Amino acid sequence: MTHRTSPFAALVALPLAFACAGTAVQAPGPVPAGAADSAAAAPLPLPLPPPAPAATPGDTTVPLSSLTLREKAAQLVMPWISGAYWPNDAAAMDTARQLAADGIGGFIVGVGASPYDVAEKLNALQRVARIPLLIASDLEAGLATRVRGGTAFPGNMALGATDRELDAYEVGRVTALEGRAIGIQLAFAPVVDVNNNPQNPIINVRSFGEDPHRVARLATAFIRGLREHGMLSTAKHFPGHGDTNVDSHLELPVVTASRARLDSVELVPFRAAIAAGTDAVMAAHLAVPALAGPDAPPASLSPAVLDTVLRQQLGFRGLIVTDALNMGAVVDRYGATQAAVMALKAGADLLLMPVDPEAVIDAIVAAVTRGEISEARLDSSVARVLDAKARAGLFRQRFVDVARIPAQVGTAADRALAKDISQRCLVLVKDSLGLVPLVPARRRQVFVLSYGDESYGSVGATFTDAIRSAMTGLKTMRLWPASGPASFDSARAAAAGAGAVIFLAGSRPTAWRPDAVVLPDSVAALVQGLAARGTPVIAVSLGSPYVLGQIPGVSTFIAAWSDTPDVEFAVARALLGMAPITGTLPVSLPPSFPIRSGLMRAAVAPAAPPAP
């Protein structure tokens, strides 16, 4: 389907998808370009106050009566902007500044450059906005999920493998402090989906696991860490995206579970998140017949799901945000602007990443003017958005002090925390030949074979550097999706006579790429073939644990969850006996490995030097 484009479409082109009552205060006008925002920056954020009992038109820091209809509509729209460096005269920066000046509610920051670049860009956009901008980002595994230099944590399923609420809380804490330091106030995190479908191409390791009560415990700890350190939180993707086998970026998933099953599984973490005070809930683009009937629209556009279930039955009073409105599950069925209007009518408050922000604003104004949406309905959402901004302290201070970033982002203490979690999250799923840890006799002629697509450019590099000095005759090879027969023949030759083959598998959920979560058949067949001919194979998943189902013949399998350098270094230490292996599976791996299983290994060698 062809969609209308505009100059604003560049802001939303294929990014990686993911209330306080008080005295009214007049919103500040635009701040002069030379304003000393850095010097005036506020201290570290204080804990957020709990949500007010309700958001009503009178309970905001900006009187709704002071806003025009178009300004109200604009407050509900949140386009995407790149986190990459933009010079002041970049066309994309001009477009974003114009949106900010025209009253847009805020922006979603995509994958970007340094913390300084992002902070300076956000300060510049805040300067031209009459009402402070609410800035959000998908910080599911810390600031490094989107911004280079932030602390890189191994992700939710790794936290499920340690099963420590303190770990989840600490990740939330660091994420909040680092995000607020560069001008982000709303984290689209945590993912509270229960990943109970091994074929799920888009949730997978983004989930804490398949036990709804474990997910609930860890999610609420993460939320506390965020909120107690000044960051608004978002529980996603309501009413649960875990039991799906379709990427909603491309088409509409259908959850066929009964209402009873939804109540006992999918909705358990959302109830816990609401009780913990989550500030927002993100509505998923998926059909749930048990909640909305067989022919109902996606949950994100359904009054039965958003108003009846989420608002009335679960009692949620905070912000309802849509998943990205440029995703195929809604755009291909309803059109870019109509989907946004339907979401607002259904009960959503923030409309994320529309294809054309101005067209959506126009469509909302038209819908209110013709009576399709009442102005009272519009006002209730605007009030929630403004109250969220007030609770984030934006009417007191909208700027950040760039000079303070080095003291708050990527500190040694936070990096040490990430390294510690990365070590403790490893799960030794199977080890039938007793290869772990690698004894000296096995360290001769080790062959490290790594696989990853173009987004895994450095897969295996940190691991190889960490084990090199302990090996004799180490060989390495990298496979790509385009690798062909000649590469596979070379891999077989290199594996011949090896004391062990260590296979590092980089397969992780990637928006718009459902195939990214699995190994190519040719790569899986290569590894299976090596194991079948008696080669000792240690397979390490640096992403989805479910790839074990493609290579069941390997003697040893380690679930490591993530491809961060800290995780690769942790795997190296574990294989060399320099650190224990203590994690347990947060998901079951059919047919033989149930949830909570995992082999324990003690450290048997001196500690390794610090990671590079």
| Catalytic residue positions, numbered | 249, 323
Residue tagged 């599984």 (tokens): 265
Burial 339-369 (b: 16+ CB within 10 A, else e): bbbbbbbbbbbbbbbbbbbbbbbebbbebbe
Residue tagged 């609770």 (tokens): 391
| Distance from C-alpha of 185 to C-alpha of 260, rounded to nearest angstrom | 36
User: Helices (DSSP H) in 185-227: which residue ranges?
Assistant: 212-227
Number of helices (H), then strands (E), in the chain: 20, 15
- Between the two ends of the chain, the Cα-to-Cα distance in Å is 48
The CA radius of gyration of the chain, in Å to the nearest whole number, is: 24
DSSP 506-570: -----TT-GGGGS--HHHHHHHHHHHHTT--EEEEESS-GGGGGG-TT-SEEEE-----HHHHHH
Cα distances from 528 to residues 485, 515, 521, 534, in angstroms, run 15, 19, 10, 10
| Distance from C-alpha of 496 to C-alpha of 475, rounded to nearest angstrom | 11
Angle between the N-to-C axes of helices 412-424 and 565-575, in degrees from 0 to 180, rounded to the nearest 10: 50
Contact 21, 57 (CB under 8 A): no
Contact 442, 435 (CB under 8 A): yes
Q: What angle do CA 272, 274, 277 make, to 5 degrees?
A: 110
| Distance from C-alpha of 219 to C-alpha of 169, rounded to nearest angstrom | 9
Of 235, 113, 220, 233, the closest CA to residue 184 belongs to 233
Contact 421, 158 (CB under 8 A): yes
**Taking the CB of residue 594, how many other CB atoms lie within 10 A of it?**
11
| Distance from C-alpha of 292 to C-alpha of 565, rounded to nearest angstrom | 44
Q: Which residue pairs, CB below 8 angstroms and at least 24 apart, start in 261-264?
A: 262/288, 262/290, 262/291, 264/212
Q: Which residue pairs, CB below 8 angstroms and at least 24 apart, start in 246-249?
A: 246/201, 246/514, 247/201, 247/202, 247/511, 247/512, 247/513, 247/514, 248/202, 248/284, 248/285, 248/286, 248/323, 248/327, 248/328, 248/329, 249/17, 249/202, 249/324, 249/327, 249/328, 249/329, 249/511, 249/512
Of 601, 603, 599, 600, the closest CA to residue 577 belongs to 603
| Distance from C-alpha of 16 to C-alpha of 326, rounded to nearest angstrom | 11
DSSP 318: S
| Distance from C-alpha of 223 to C-alpha of 231, rounded to nearest angstrom | 9
Map residue 317 onto helix, strand or coil: coil
- Tokens of residue 22, six digits: 């008080």
DSSP 145: G
Q: What angle do CA 547, 605, 564 make, to 5 degrees?
A: 40
Contact 322, 329 (CB under 8 A): no
